[in-house]
Amino acid sequence: MGRDILSRIMEGTKITIILSFGTVFFALIFGSIIGGAAGYFGGNIDEVLMRFIDSLMAFPGILFAMMLVFVFGAGVMNTIIAIGTMSIPYFARVVRSGFLQVKEAVFVKSAIVKGGSPLYIAKNHIFPNIKNQLMVAIILSISAAILSEAGLSYLGLGVRPPHPSWGRMLKESQAYFNQAPWYFVFSGVNLSLLVLGFTLYGENFRNKRLEEKKG
């Protein structure tokens, strides 16, 4: 095909990083709002919001993302929204769990007695105490977002040409495997190494936080 595979892999890395970080940021914002409100207020609000999250989880994640991309079209922004939407339940549950644990602490109850607003308490007292759980969730979600984007692009529903995508490159390389095996090999190796790197970093970060708690 006359293409510079190294240049396409390098450009594809930029697209992959932008898309995966954008996806996680999108899911983190909306997941934090839903999970924080459910965990802080409890009661009927918790029930309604968690049933909404359960309804999102009822659909297989990648199929839900495929449906959104099919309806709204392919592209970087639509792919971010599609993959980010299917990641919202994960962050909502992590944040809700953290809020339920921290909101019973003495310093939170003291802030409530002093008249602190829910937003002030969440920002200054609860989120700083659940940042480690959120960091682990963010790092591991980046790996999942990279794989999801590659899967959508492989099916032709992700990043549009002429922007390179590792998933699309893997699909294109299949037809030329005998003539140019390096196209398939290096695309797959880079994708695997990036996902493995974020996964190992997330696991290591989580283990260090657990050790600090025990210490």
Domain range annotation of the chain = 5-214
CB atoms within 10 A of CB 80: 22
Q: What is the pTM of this model?
A: 0.86
Count CA atoms closer than 13 A to 96's CA, side-chain side. 22
CA angle 55, 58, 61 (to 5 degrees): 110
For the domain made up of 5-214, the CATH class stated in words is: mainly alpha
The reported pLDDT for the residue numbered 215 is 61
Convert the pLDDT of each residue in 73-98 to its tens digit.
Answer: 777 788 888 888 888 999 999 999 99
Convert the pLDDT of each residue in 36-60 to its tens digit.
Answer: 999 989 889 999 999 988 888 877 7
Higher local confidence (pLDDT), 134 or 64: 134
Tokens of 128: 């700083």
Higher local confidence (pLDDT), 71 or 100: 100
pLDDT band at residue 35 under the 50/70/90 scheme? very high
pLDDT band at residue 1 under the 50/70/90 scheme? low
